[in-house]
Structure 1
Protein backbone atom coordinates (compact mmCIF):
# COMPACT_ATOMS: atom_id res chain seq x y z
CA UNK A 1 0.00 0.00 0.00
CA UNK A 2 1.35 3.38 -0.98
CA UNK A 3 1.81 6.12 1.60
CA UNK A 4 2.26 8.90 -0.93
CA UNK A 5 0.18 11.95 -0.13
CA UNK A 6 -2.24 13.80 -2.36
CA UNK A 7 -1.42 17.08 -4.04
CA UNK A 8 -4.63 19.09 -3.94
CA UNK A 9 -4.49 20.52 -7.46
CA UNK A 10 -6.84 20.72 -10.42
CA UNK A 11 -5.03 17.75 -11.98
CA UNK A 12 -5.26 15.61 -8.84
CA UNK A 13 -8.74 14.46 -7.82
CA UNK A 14 -9.73 14.48 -4.20
CA UNK A 15 -9.10 11.27 -2.22
CA UNK A 16 -11.66 8.52 -2.68
CA UNK A 17 -12.84 5.76 -0.39
CA UNK A 18 -14.99 2.68 -0.10
CA UNK A 19 -16.52 2.58 3.36
CA UNK A 20 -17.73 -0.43 5.33
CA UNK A 21 -20.07 0.99 7.96
CA UNK A 22 -22.97 0.39 10.32
CA UNK A 23 -24.37 1.83 13.56
CA UNK A 24 -24.01 5.35 14.97
CA UNK A 25 -20.21 5.31 14.65
CA UNK A 26 -20.68 4.48 10.97
CA UNK A 27 -23.00 7.46 10.51
CA UNK A 28 -20.78 9.92 12.36
CA UNK A 29 -17.66 8.68 10.57
CA UNK A 30 -19.20 8.92 7.10
CA UNK A 31 -20.24 12.48 7.91
CA UNK A 32 -16.67 13.20 9.00
CA UNK A 33 -15.23 11.83 5.74
CA UNK A 34 -17.64 13.98 3.74
CA UNK A 35 -16.71 17.05 5.79
CA UNK A 36 -13.04 16.40 5.03
CA UNK A 37 -13.76 16.22 1.31
CA UNK A 38 -13.44 12.45 0.82
CA UNK A 39 -15.19 11.10 -2.28
CA UNK A 40 -17.15 8.10 -0.96
CA UNK A 41 -17.74 5.87 -3.96
CA UNK A 42 -19.52 3.04 -2.18
CA UNK A 43 -20.78 2.10 1.28
CA UNK A 44 -20.94 -1.57 2.26
CA UNK A 45 -23.30 -2.10 5.17
CA UNK A 46 -25.77 -4.50 6.82
CA UNK A 47 -29.51 -4.86 6.64
CA UNK A 48 -31.15 -4.24 10.01
CA UNK A 49 -32.12 -7.45 11.77
CA UNK A 50 -35.70 -7.99 12.91
CA UNK A 51 -34.28 -9.75 15.99
CA UNK A 52 -32.27 -6.72 17.13
CA UNK A 53 -33.42 -3.59 18.92
CA UNK A 54 -32.43 -0.76 16.57
CA UNK A 55 -31.57 2.11 18.91
CA UNK A 56 -28.73 3.52 16.82
CA UNK A 57 -28.49 5.83 13.80
CA UNK A 58 -29.05 4.55 10.26
CA UNK A 59 -26.27 4.32 7.69
CA UNK A 60 -28.92 3.44 5.09
CA UNK A 61 -30.80 6.71 5.71
CA UNK A 62 -27.58 8.73 5.53
CA UNK A 63 -26.56 7.15 2.22
CA UNK A 64 -29.99 7.86 0.78
CA UNK A 65 -29.77 11.48 1.92
CA UNK A 66 -26.38 11.97 0.25
CA UNK A 67 -26.98 9.76 -2.81
CA UNK A 68 -24.14 7.42 -1.87
CA UNK A 69 -24.39 3.94 -3.43
CA UNK A 70 -24.88 1.26 -0.77
CA UNK A 71 -24.81 -2.53 -0.87
CA UNK A 72 -25.47 -5.07 1.89
CA UNK A 73 -23.87 -8.39 0.94
CA UNK A 74 -23.94 -11.22 3.47
CA UNK A 75 -20.32 -11.91 2.57
CA UNK A 76 -18.14 -8.95 1.50
CA UNK A 77 -15.26 -11.23 0.46
CA UNK A 78 -16.77 -12.94 -2.59
CA UNK A 79 -15.06 -12.53 -5.99
CA UNK A 80 -18.04 -10.49 -7.22
CA UNK A 81 -17.88 -7.96 -4.38
CA UNK A 82 -14.09 -7.75 -4.56
CA UNK A 83 -14.32 -7.03 -8.30
CA UNK A 84 -16.97 -4.37 -7.71
CA UNK A 85 -14.80 -2.59 -5.14
CA UNK A 86 -11.63 -2.93 -7.21
CA UNK A 87 -13.36 -1.33 -10.20
CA UNK A 88 -13.91 1.80 -8.10
CA UNK A 89 -10.15 2.15 -7.48
CA UNK A 90 -10.50 3.64 -3.99
CA UNK A 91 -7.54 5.36 -2.40
CA UNK A 92 -8.75 4.33 1.05
CA UNK A 93 -10.87 1.66 2.62
CA UNK A 94 -12.45 2.51 5.96
CA UNK A 95 -14.36 0.27 8.36
CA UNK A 96 -16.62 1.85 10.97
CA UNK A 97 -18.44 -0.68 13.17
CA UNK A 98 -18.90 -3.04 10.24
CA UNK A 99 -19.48 -6.51 11.67
CA UNK A 100 -17.79 -8.80 9.14
CA UNK A 101 -14.10 -9.52 8.75
CA UNK A 102 -12.49 -8.33 5.52
CA UNK A 103 -10.14 -10.55 3.55
CA UNK A 104 -6.62 -9.65 2.49
CA UNK A 105 -7.87 -9.35 -1.09
CA UNK A 106 -10.30 -6.60 -0.04
CA UNK A 107 -7.79 -4.74 2.13
CA UNK A 108 -5.16 -4.71 -0.62
CA UNK A 109 -7.45 -2.88 -3.04
CA UNK A 110 -6.94 0.49 -1.35
CA UNK A 111 -3.85 2.18 -2.75
CA UNK A 112 -3.37 4.40 0.32
CA UNK A 113 -4.37 1.94 3.03
CA UNK A 114 -7.27 0.36 4.88
CA UNK A 115 -8.22 1.70 8.32
CA UNK A 116 -10.66 0.73 11.06
CA UNK A 117 -12.15 2.58 14.02
CA UNK A 118 -12.28 0.35 17.10
CA UNK A 119 -14.12 1.12 20.35
CA UNK A 120 -11.29 0.61 22.81
CA UNK A 121 -7.80 1.81 23.59
CA UNK A 122 -5.93 -0.84 21.64
CA UNK A 123 -4.31 -3.20 22.27
CA UNK A 124 -6.80 -3.63 25.15
CA UNK A 125 -10.19 -5.14 24.34
CA UNK A 126 -9.57 -6.29 20.81
CA UNK A 127 -12.47 -8.19 19.26
CA UNK A 128 -16.22 -7.92 19.69
CA UNK A 129 -18.37 -5.51 21.78
CA UNK A 130 -15.40 -3.84 23.50
CA UNK A 131 -17.53 -1.25 25.31
CA UNK A 132 -19.62 -3.90 27.04
CA UNK A 133 -16.57 -5.90 28.07
CA UNK A 134 -14.80 -2.81 29.45
CA UNK A 135 -17.82 -1.88 31.61
CA UNK A 136 -18.25 -5.49 32.75
CA UNK A 137 -14.65 -5.57 33.95
CA UNK A 138 -14.99 -2.33 35.88
CA UNK A 139 -12.63 -0.26 33.73
CA UNK A 140 -12.46 3.46 34.48
CA UNK A 141 -11.33 4.46 30.99
CA UNK A 142 -11.73 3.37 27.39
CA UNK A 143 -11.58 5.12 24.03
CA UNK A 144 -11.57 5.02 20.25
CA UNK A 145 -8.63 3.85 18.16
CA UNK A 146 -8.00 4.37 14.44
CA UNK A 147 -5.66 1.68 13.18
CA UNK A 148 -4.44 -0.02 10.04
CA UNK A 149 -6.46 -3.05 9.09
CA UNK A 150 -4.89 -6.48 8.82
CA UNK A 151 -6.46 -9.90 8.39
CA UNK A 152 -5.95 -10.47 12.11
CA UNK A 153 -8.61 -8.43 13.93
CA UNK A 154 -7.60 -5.14 15.57
CA UNK A 155 -3.92 -5.94 15.15
CA UNK A 156 -2.64 -3.25 12.76
CA UNK A 157 -0.52 -0.23 13.61
CA UNK A 158 -2.24 2.50 15.61
CA UNK A 159 -2.77 5.86 13.90
CA UNK A 160 -4.59 7.81 16.62
CA UNK A 161 -6.51 7.33 19.87
CA UNK A 162 -8.92 9.37 21.98
CA UNK A 163 -9.74 8.32 25.55
CA UNK A 164 -12.97 8.79 27.49
CA UNK A 165 -13.76 8.15 31.18
CA UNK A 166 -16.08 5.42 32.40
CA UNK A 167 -17.79 6.83 35.48
CA UNK A 168 -18.77 4.46 38.31
CA UNK A 169 -22.46 4.43 37.36
CA UNK A 170 -22.11 4.66 33.57
CA UNK A 171 -23.94 2.02 31.56
CA UNK A 172 -22.49 0.66 28.31
CA UNK A 173 -25.10 2.71 26.44
CA UNK A 174 -23.83 5.90 28.07
CA UNK A 175 -20.20 4.98 27.37
CA UNK A 176 -21.08 4.23 23.74
CA UNK A 177 -22.39 7.78 23.42
CA UNK A 178 -19.04 9.11 24.58
CA UNK A 179 -17.21 6.80 22.19
CA UNK A 180 -19.27 7.98 19.23
CA UNK A 181 -17.92 11.48 19.84
CA UNK A 182 -14.40 10.18 20.50
CA UNK A 183 -14.45 8.21 17.23
CA UNK A 184 -15.50 11.30 15.31
CA UNK A 185 -12.75 13.37 16.94
CA UNK A 186 -10.14 10.69 16.28
CA UNK A 187 -10.99 10.41 12.60
CA UNK A 188 -11.33 14.15 12.08
CA UNK A 189 -7.90 14.83 13.58
CA UNK A 190 -6.17 11.95 11.76
CA UNK A 191 -7.52 12.47 8.24
CA UNK A 192 -5.24 15.34 7.18
CA UNK A 193 -2.09 13.32 7.88
CA UNK A 194 -3.57 10.19 6.28
CA UNK A 195 -4.38 12.16 3.13
CA UNK A 196 -0.93 13.75 3.13
CA UNK A 197 0.77 10.41 3.68
CA UNK A 198 2.48 11.63 6.85
CA UNK A 199 0.52 9.76 9.52
CA UNK A 200 2.58 8.39 12.40
CA UNK A 201 2.14 4.66 12.93
CA UNK A 202 2.53 3.27 16.45
CA UNK A 203 3.15 -0.48 16.82
CA UNK A 204 0.15 -2.33 18.24
CA UNK A 205 1.78 -4.56 20.87
CA UNK A 206 -0.75 -7.37 21.20
CA UNK A 207 1.15 -8.88 24.14
CA UNK A 208 0.00 -5.89 26.21
CA UNK A 209 -3.66 -6.30 25.33
CA UNK A 210 -6.58 -8.69 25.34
CA UNK A 211 -9.09 -10.24 22.95
CA UNK A 212 -12.78 -10.89 23.63
CA UNK A 213 -15.50 -12.57 21.62
CA UNK A 214 -19.13 -11.58 21.16
CA UNK A 215 -21.80 -11.73 23.85
CA UNK A 216 -25.21 -13.42 23.80
CA UNK A 217 -28.36 -12.47 25.75
CA UNK A 218 -27.81 -15.56 27.93
CA UNK A 219 -24.54 -14.00 29.13
CA UNK A 220 -26.68 -11.51 31.04
CA UNK A 221 -27.83 -14.16 33.53
CA UNK A 222 -27.07 -12.94 37.07
CA UNK A 223 -25.04 -15.11 39.44
CA UNK A 224 -26.12 -13.77 42.82
CA UNK A 225 -23.20 -15.55 44.52
CA UNK A 226 -20.88 -12.95 42.98
CA UNK A 227 -20.05 -9.69 44.73
CA UNK A 228 -22.42 -6.73 44.53
CA UNK A 229 -19.90 -4.84 42.41
CA UNK A 230 -19.67 -7.72 39.92
CA UNK A 231 -23.45 -7.97 39.64
CA UNK A 232 -23.71 -4.20 39.27
CA UNK A 233 -21.05 -4.19 36.56
CA UNK A 234 -22.98 -6.87 34.68
CA UNK A 235 -26.12 -4.76 34.88
CA UNK A 236 -24.25 -1.68 33.64
CA UNK A 237 -22.64 -3.64 30.79
CA UNK A 238 -25.91 -4.99 29.37
CA UNK A 239 -28.57 -2.54 30.61
CA UNK A 240 -31.27 -1.56 28.09
CA UNK A 241 -31.23 -0.97 25.15
CA UNK A 242 -28.99 -4.06 25.35
CA UNK A 243 -30.82 -7.27 26.39
CA UNK A 244 -30.27 -6.64 30.11
CA UNK A 245 -29.05 -8.52 33.20
CA UNK A 246 -31.75 -11.01 34.17
CA UNK A 247 -32.74 -13.45 36.85
CA UNK A 248 -35.44 -16.10 37.14
CA UNK A 249 -37.97 -16.58 39.94
CA UNK A 250 -40.81 -19.11 40.04
CA UNK A 251 -40.16 -19.92 36.39
CA UNK A 252 -40.48 -16.29 35.29
CA UNK A 253 -37.75 -14.02 33.93
CA UNK A 254 -37.05 -10.55 35.29
CA UNK A 255 -34.68 -7.98 33.74
CA UNK A 256 -33.01 -5.22 35.71
CA UNK A 257 -33.81 -1.93 34.00
CA UNK A 258 -32.13 0.43 36.44
CA UNK A 259 -30.06 -0.12 39.58
CA UNK A 260 -27.28 1.22 41.76
CA UNK A 261 -24.95 -0.07 44.44
CA UNK A 262 -26.79 0.03 47.76
CA UNK A 263 -25.01 2.70 49.81
CA UNK A 264 -27.86 4.28 51.73
CA UNK A 265 -26.80 6.52 54.63
CA UNK A 266 -29.98 6.06 56.70
CA UNK A 267 -31.54 2.81 55.47
CA UNK A 268 -29.82 -0.44 56.38
CA UNK A 269 -29.82 -3.66 54.45
CA UNK A 270 -32.28 -5.96 56.25
CA UNK A 271 -30.70 -8.99 57.88
CA UNK A 272 -31.07 -12.59 56.77
CA UNK A 273 -32.32 -11.91 53.25
CA UNK A 274 -31.61 -14.74 50.79
CA UNK A 275 -29.42 -14.26 47.75
CA UNK A 276 -31.33 -12.65 44.92
CA UNK A 277 -34.22 -10.19 44.85
CA UNK A 278 -36.23 -9.21 47.90
CA UNK A 279 -38.65 -6.35 48.49
CA UNK A 280 -38.80 -4.84 52.00
CA UNK A 281 -40.83 -1.70 52.73
CA UNK A 282 -41.07 -0.90 48.99
CA UNK A 283 -37.28 -1.08 48.55
CA UNK A 284 -36.09 -3.72 46.07
CA UNK A 285 -32.78 -5.33 47.03
CA UNK A 286 -30.58 -7.65 45.02
CA UNK A 287 -28.57 -9.45 47.69
CA UNK A 288 -25.18 -10.74 46.57
CA UNK A 289 -22.60 -13.25 47.72
CA UNK A 290 -20.42 -10.79 49.59
CA UNK A 291 -23.27 -9.79 51.89
CA UNK A 292 -23.77 -6.50 50.07
CA UNK A 293 -26.56 -5.56 47.69
CA UNK A 294 -27.63 -3.57 44.71
CA UNK A 295 -30.78 -1.46 44.95
CA UNK A 296 -33.03 -2.19 41.99
CA UNK A 297 -34.79 0.99 40.93
CA UNK A 298 -36.70 -0.50 37.99
CA UNK A 299 -37.37 -4.15 37.16
CA UNK A 300 -38.97 -5.45 33.97
CA UNK A 301 -41.20 -8.47 33.46
CA UNK A 302 -42.56 -9.38 30.03
CA UNK A 303 -41.32 -6.09 28.62
CA UNK A 304 -43.04 -3.86 31.21
CA UNK A 305 -41.65 -2.03 34.24
CA UNK A 306 -43.14 -3.52 37.40
CA UNK A 307 -45.00 -1.35 39.89
CA UNK A 308 -44.70 -1.66 43.67
CA UNK A 309 -47.69 -3.97 43.92
CA UNK A 310 -46.27 -6.42 41.39
CA UNK A 311 -42.81 -6.29 43.00
CA UNK A 312 -44.28 -7.06 46.43
CA UNK A 313 -46.34 -9.92 44.98
CA UNK A 314 -43.28 -11.70 43.56
CA UNK A 315 -40.52 -10.68 45.98
CA UNK A 316 -42.11 -9.29 49.14
CA UNK A 317 -40.57 -10.21 52.51
CA UNK A 318 -42.11 -9.69 55.92
Structure 2
Protein backbone atom coordinates (compact mmCIF):
# COMPACT_ATOMS: atom_id res chain seq x y z
CA UNK A 1 0.00 0.00 0.00
CA UNK A 2 1.73 3.13 -1.26
CA UNK A 3 1.17 6.18 0.95
CA UNK A 4 1.62 9.88 0.28
CA UNK A 5 1.85 11.79 3.56
CA UNK A 6 0.76 15.41 4.06
CA UNK A 7 1.54 17.30 7.28
CA UNK A 8 3.46 20.09 8.95
CA UNK A 9 3.02 19.99 12.75
CA UNK A 10 4.44 18.04 15.69
CA UNK A 11 1.75 15.37 15.37
CA UNK A 12 2.64 15.02 11.67
CA UNK A 13 6.27 14.30 12.54
CA UNK A 14 5.38 11.70 15.15
CA UNK A 15 2.81 10.04 12.89
CA UNK A 16 5.31 9.88 10.02
CA UNK A 17 7.91 8.41 12.38
CA UNK A 18 5.41 5.79 13.51
CA UNK A 19 4.60 4.82 9.90
CA UNK A 20 8.30 4.50 9.10
CA UNK A 21 8.86 2.29 12.17
CA UNK A 22 5.94 0.11 11.03
CA UNK A 23 7.56 -0.37 7.64
CA UNK A 24 4.80 1.41 5.76
CA UNK A 25 5.58 2.29 2.15
CA UNK A 26 5.80 6.09 2.17
CA UNK A 27 6.35 7.16 -1.45
CA UNK A 28 6.26 10.93 -0.89
CA UNK A 29 5.68 13.72 1.61
CA UNK A 30 4.11 17.16 1.15
CA UNK A 31 4.90 19.73 3.82
CA UNK A 32 5.72 23.42 4.40
CA UNK A 33 9.01 25.28 4.79
CA UNK A 34 7.48 27.44 7.50
CA UNK A 35 4.11 28.33 8.96
CA UNK A 36 2.92 31.57 10.52
CA UNK A 37 -0.37 29.87 11.33
CA UNK A 38 0.62 26.67 13.16
CA UNK A 39 2.19 27.34 16.55
CA UNK A 40 3.14 23.65 16.69
CA UNK A 41 4.85 23.76 13.27
CA UNK A 42 7.69 21.28 12.84
CA UNK A 43 10.09 20.74 9.95
CA UNK A 44 9.58 17.08 9.00
CA UNK A 45 12.05 17.07 6.12
CA UNK A 46 14.99 15.77 8.23
CA UNK A 47 12.94 12.63 8.80
CA UNK A 48 12.34 12.37 5.05
CA UNK A 49 16.03 12.81 4.23
CA UNK A 50 17.10 10.29 6.85
CA UNK A 51 14.75 7.70 5.35
CA UNK A 52 15.24 8.70 1.69
CA UNK A 53 11.60 9.67 1.22
CA UNK A 54 10.91 12.16 -1.61
CA UNK A 55 9.35 15.38 -0.31
CA UNK A 56 7.91 18.57 -1.70
CA UNK A 57 7.33 21.97 -0.09
CA UNK A 58 3.86 23.28 -0.90
CA UNK A 59 1.67 26.20 0.06
CA UNK A 60 -1.58 25.34 -1.73
CA UNK A 61 -1.88 21.56 -1.79
CA UNK A 62 -4.62 21.85 -4.43
CA UNK A 63 -2.44 23.54 -7.07
CA UNK A 64 -2.17 21.56 -10.28
CA UNK A 65 1.61 21.11 -10.09
CA UNK A 66 1.31 19.65 -6.59
CA UNK A 67 -1.47 17.30 -7.65
CA UNK A 68 0.61 16.22 -10.65
CA UNK A 69 3.58 15.48 -8.38
CA UNK A 70 1.43 13.38 -6.07
CA UNK A 71 -0.15 11.60 -9.05
CA UNK A 72 3.32 10.72 -10.37
CA UNK A 73 3.89 8.72 -7.18
CA UNK A 74 0.78 6.56 -7.83
CA UNK A 75 -0.34 6.41 -4.19
CA UNK A 76 -2.98 3.94 -3.10
CA UNK A 77 -3.94 6.24 -0.23
CA UNK A 78 -3.08 9.67 1.19
CA UNK A 79 -2.66 10.41 4.89
CA UNK A 80 -3.28 14.07 5.76
CA UNK A 81 -2.37 14.59 9.42
CA UNK A 82 -1.83 18.18 10.55
CA UNK A 83 -2.87 20.38 7.64
CA UNK A 84 -4.93 23.54 8.06
CA UNK A 85 -6.66 23.86 4.69
CA UNK A 86 -9.29 21.80 2.91
CA UNK A 87 -8.32 19.31 0.23
CA UNK A 88 -10.42 19.69 -2.91
CA UNK A 89 -12.19 17.11 -5.03
CA UNK A 90 -9.46 16.46 -7.62
CA UNK A 91 -6.95 15.41 -4.98
CA UNK A 92 -9.53 13.60 -2.85
CA UNK A 93 -10.43 11.40 -5.81
CA UNK A 94 -6.83 10.74 -6.91
CA UNK A 95 -5.87 7.77 -4.66
CA UNK A 96 -8.06 4.66 -5.08
CA UNK A 97 -8.46 4.19 -1.32
CA UNK A 98 -9.11 7.86 -0.60
CA UNK A 99 -7.60 10.41 1.77
CA UNK A 100 -7.44 9.82 5.53
CA UNK A 101 -7.67 12.88 7.76
CA UNK A 102 -7.46 13.41 11.50
CA UNK A 103 -9.51 15.42 13.99
CA UNK A 104 -9.08 15.30 17.80
CA UNK A 105 -12.79 15.49 18.59
CA UNK A 106 -15.68 13.03 18.90
CA UNK A 107 -17.05 13.37 15.38
CA UNK A 108 -19.71 14.13 14.25
CA UNK A 109 -19.63 16.54 17.19
CA UNK A 110 -17.25 19.49 17.26
CA UNK A 111 -16.08 19.66 13.67
CA UNK A 112 -14.08 22.67 12.54
CA UNK A 113 -11.19 24.70 13.88
CA UNK A 114 -8.95 24.46 16.97
CA UNK A 115 -10.58 21.36 18.51
CA UNK A 116 -8.19 20.96 21.46
CA UNK A 117 -8.32 24.66 22.30
CA UNK A 118 -12.12 24.81 22.25
CA UNK A 119 -12.31 21.56 24.22
CA UNK A 120 -10.38 23.18 27.08
CA UNK A 121 -11.98 26.63 26.77
CA UNK A 122 -15.44 25.10 27.06
CA UNK A 123 -14.43 22.85 29.94
CA UNK A 124 -15.39 19.57 28.25
CA UNK A 125 -14.49 16.46 30.24
CA UNK A 126 -14.60 13.96 27.34
CA UNK A 127 -13.64 13.92 23.68
CA UNK A 128 -12.17 11.53 21.13
CA UNK A 129 -9.34 10.99 18.65
CA UNK A 130 -10.80 10.42 15.19
CA UNK A 131 -9.38 9.32 11.84
CA UNK A 132 -11.77 9.62 8.91
CA UNK A 133 -12.04 9.46 5.13
CA UNK A 134 -11.94 13.06 3.95
CA UNK A 135 -14.61 14.54 1.68
CA UNK A 136 -15.15 18.07 0.38
CA UNK A 137 -16.62 19.33 3.65
CA UNK A 138 -14.79 19.83 6.96
CA UNK A 139 -14.48 16.70 9.10
CA UNK A 140 -17.65 15.10 7.72
CA UNK A 141 -16.39 11.92 6.03
CA UNK A 142 -16.83 8.32 7.12
CA UNK A 143 -15.00 7.40 10.33
CA UNK A 144 -12.16 4.88 10.10
CA UNK A 145 -11.05 4.86 13.75
CA UNK A 146 -12.29 6.66 16.86
CA UNK A 147 -11.02 6.36 20.43
CA UNK A 148 -12.46 8.21 23.42
CA UNK A 149 -10.32 10.05 25.95
CA UNK A 150 -10.95 11.94 29.17
CA UNK A 151 -10.09 15.58 29.74
CA UNK A 152 -9.01 16.35 33.29
CA UNK A 153 -9.40 19.65 35.16
CA UNK A 154 -5.61 19.83 35.55
CA UNK A 155 -4.92 19.39 31.83
CA UNK A 156 -3.03 22.14 30.05
CA UNK A 157 -2.85 22.41 26.27
CA UNK A 158 0.54 20.63 26.23
CA UNK A 159 -0.57 17.81 28.51
CA UNK A 160 -3.70 17.19 26.44
CA UNK A 161 -1.85 17.57 23.14
CA UNK A 162 0.71 14.95 24.15
CA UNK A 163 -1.95 12.55 25.47
CA UNK A 164 -3.96 12.79 22.27
CA UNK A 165 -0.87 12.18 20.12
CA UNK A 166 -0.15 9.04 22.12
CA UNK A 167 -3.69 7.78 21.55
CA UNK A 168 -3.55 8.62 17.84
CA UNK A 169 -0.29 6.72 17.37
CA UNK A 170 -1.89 3.63 18.91
CA UNK A 171 -4.77 3.98 16.45
CA UNK A 172 -2.34 4.21 13.53
CA UNK A 173 -0.76 0.93 14.67
CA UNK A 174 -4.22 -0.65 14.57
CA UNK A 175 -5.72 0.65 11.35
CA UNK A 176 -2.75 0.68 8.95
CA UNK A 177 -2.61 -3.17 8.85
CA UNK A 178 -6.39 -3.18 8.38
CA UNK A 179 -6.06 -0.84 5.41
CA UNK A 180 -3.25 -2.95 3.95
CA UNK A 181 -5.40 -6.08 4.20
CA UNK A 182 -8.54 -4.24 3.00
CA UNK A 183 -10.11 -5.34 6.27
CA UNK A 184 -11.55 -2.11 7.68
CA UNK A 185 -14.92 -0.50 8.28
CA UNK A 186 -16.26 2.89 7.25
CA UNK A 187 -18.75 4.34 9.73
CA UNK A 188 -20.97 7.04 8.28
CA UNK A 189 -21.37 10.15 10.40
CA UNK A 190 -24.80 11.35 11.48
CA UNK A 191 -24.75 14.90 10.13
CA UNK A 192 -27.84 15.83 12.17
CA UNK A 193 -25.66 15.68 15.31
CA UNK A 194 -22.86 17.86 13.95
CA UNK A 195 -21.78 21.30 15.07
CA UNK A 196 -18.86 23.29 13.68
CA UNK A 197 -16.41 25.18 15.86
CA UNK A 198 -15.32 28.49 14.33
CA UNK A 199 -11.86 29.89 13.79
CA UNK A 200 -10.69 31.73 16.89
CA UNK A 201 -9.26 35.24 16.77
CA UNK A 202 -7.12 37.38 19.04
CA UNK A 203 -10.15 38.68 20.94
CA UNK A 204 -10.99 35.10 21.95
CA UNK A 205 -7.75 34.95 23.93
CA UNK A 206 -8.43 38.09 25.98
CA UNK A 207 -8.97 37.66 29.70
CA UNK A 208 -11.93 39.70 30.93
CA UNK A 209 -12.28 39.65 34.70
CA UNK A 210 -16.05 39.91 34.32
CA UNK A 211 -15.73 36.21 33.44
CA UNK A 212 -16.01 33.53 36.12
CA UNK A 213 -12.81 32.25 37.67
CA UNK A 214 -13.31 28.84 36.07
CA UNK A 215 -13.83 30.38 32.63
CA UNK A 216 -10.58 32.35 32.97
CA UNK A 217 -8.74 29.23 34.16
CA UNK A 218 -10.04 27.27 31.17
CA UNK A 219 -9.05 30.01 28.74
CA UNK A 220 -5.52 30.26 30.11
CA UNK A 221 -4.86 26.51 30.08
CA UNK A 222 -6.37 26.18 26.60
CA UNK A 223 -3.96 28.72 25.11
CA UNK A 224 -0.87 27.73 27.08
CA UNK A 225 2.18 26.38 25.26
CA UNK A 226 2.53 25.20 22.52
CA UNK A 227 -0.14 27.79 21.70
CA UNK A 228 0.14 31.58 21.80
CA UNK A 229 -1.07 32.27 25.33
CA UNK A 230 -4.09 34.07 26.76
CA UNK A 231 -3.60 37.76 27.43
CA UNK A 232 -4.89 40.74 29.37
CA UNK A 233 -4.56 44.44 28.66
CA UNK A 234 -2.43 46.55 31.01
CA UNK A 235 -1.20 50.08 30.34
CA UNK A 236 -2.15 49.75 26.69
CA UNK A 237 -0.19 46.54 26.15
CA UNK A 238 -1.14 42.89 25.85
CA UNK A 239 0.42 40.83 28.63
CA UNK A 240 0.61 37.06 28.07
CA UNK A 241 -0.65 34.91 30.92
CA UNK A 242 0.52 31.29 30.98
CA UNK A 243 -0.73 29.84 34.26
CA UNK A 244 -3.35 30.77 36.84
CA UNK A 245 -5.04 29.26 39.87
CA UNK A 246 -8.66 29.58 40.98
CA UNK A 247 -8.93 31.15 44.45
CA UNK A 248 -12.12 31.34 46.49
CA UNK A 249 -13.10 34.89 47.43
CA UNK A 250 -16.49 35.58 48.98
CA UNK A 251 -16.19 39.39 49.13
CA UNK A 252 -19.30 40.73 47.44
CA UNK A 253 -18.39 44.43 47.49
CA UNK A 254 -15.17 44.20 45.44
CA UNK A 255 -15.39 44.94 41.72
CA UNK A 256 -14.02 42.46 39.19
CA UNK A 257 -10.59 43.27 37.82
CA UNK A 258 -9.25 44.76 41.06
CA UNK A 259 -5.78 43.62 42.14
CA UNK A 260 -6.22 42.19 45.64
CA UNK A 261 -2.67 41.12 46.46
CA UNK A 262 0.86 40.88 45.09
CA UNK A 263 3.16 38.19 46.52
CA UNK A 264 6.24 36.38 45.18
CA UNK A 265 5.63 37.71 41.67
CA UNK A 266 2.06 36.40 41.76
CA UNK A 267 -0.93 38.66 41.20
CA UNK A 268 -4.31 38.01 42.82
CA UNK A 269 -7.23 39.55 40.91
CA UNK A 270 -10.95 39.67 41.69
CA UNK A 271 -13.17 37.94 39.14
CA UNK A 272 -16.94 37.91 38.75
CA UNK A 273 -17.43 35.06 41.20
CA UNK A 274 -14.17 34.81 43.13
CA UNK A 275 -10.53 35.44 42.34
CA UNK A 276 -7.70 34.27 40.09
CA UNK A 277 -4.06 34.07 41.12
CA UNK A 278 -1.83 34.80 38.12
CA UNK A 279 1.18 32.54 38.63
CA UNK A 280 3.09 32.62 35.35
CA UNK A 281 2.99 35.77 33.25
CA UNK A 282 4.95 38.26 31.18
CA UNK A 283 4.52 41.44 33.20
CA UNK A 284 7.69 43.51 32.90
CA UNK A 285 6.37 45.71 35.71
CA UNK A 286 3.86 44.30 38.17
CA UNK A 287 0.62 46.17 38.82
CA UNK A 288 -0.01 47.44 42.35
CA UNK A 289 -2.62 46.41 44.87
CA UNK A 290 -5.81 48.36 44.22
CA UNK A 291 -5.19 48.80 40.48
CA UNK A 292 -7.69 47.41 37.96
CA UNK A 293 -6.87 45.00 35.15
One fold, TM greater than 0.5?
A: yes
Residue 226 of structure 2 corresponds to: 241
Residue 30 of structure 1 corresponds to: 16
Q: Once the 2 structures are TM-superposed, how far is the Cα of residue 223 of structure 1 from its aligned partner?
A: 2.1
Residues 48 and 54, structure 1, Cα contact 8 Å, conserved in 2: no
Counterparts of 1:1-318 in structure 2, within 5 Å, are 15-49=1-35, 51=36, 57-263=42-248, 272-276=253-257, 278-280=259-261, 282=263, 284-289=267-272, 291-301=273-283, 310-311=285-286, 314-317=287-290
Query: Which 4+ residue blocks in structure 1 deviate beyond 6 angstroms?
Result: none
5+ residue gaps, structure 2: none
5+ residue gaps, structure 1: 1-14
Which structure has the bigger radius of gyration?
A: 1
Q: 1 CA distance for matches of 2:126 and 2:51? A: 35
Q: Once the 2 structures are TM-superposed, how far is the Cα of residue 164 of structure 1 from its aligned partner?
A: 2.2
Q: 1 CA distance for matches of 2:51 and 2:247? A: 49
Over 3 Å counting, the alpha-carbon distance change for 1:53 and 1:95 in structure 2 is closer
Q: Once the 2 structures are TM-superposed, how far is the Cα of residue 53 of structure 1 from its aligned partner?
A: 7.9
Residue 4 of structure 1 corresponds to: none
Please state whether the residue corresponding to 2:28 is helix, strand or coil.
Answer: strand
Please state whether the residue corresponding to 2:276 is helix, strand or coil.
Answer: strand
Over 3 Å counting, the alpha-carbon distance change for 1:242 and 1:286 in structure 2 is farther
Q: 1 CA distance for matches of 2:250 and 2:205? A: 25
The alignment's TM-score, normalised by the length of structure 1, stands at 0.84
Deviations 1:98-133 (A, max 9, x none): 122111110111112211121112112211210001
Q: Once the 2 structures are TM-superposed, how far is the Cα of residue 71 of structure 1 from its aligned partner?
A: 1.3
Over 3 Å counting, the alpha-carbon distance change for 1:241 and 1:272 in structure 2 is farther
The alignment's TM-score, normalised by the length of structure 2, stands at 0.91
Residues 8 and 41, structure 2, Cα contact 8 Å, conserved in 1: no
Deviations 1:185-212 (A, max 9, x none): 1111111111111211111112223211
Q: 2 CA distance for matches of 1:31 and 1:119? A: 19
Q: How many residues align?
A: 289
Q: 2 CA distance for matches of 1:292 and 1:59? A: 45
Q: Alpha carbon RMSD of aligned pairs, Å? A: 2.1
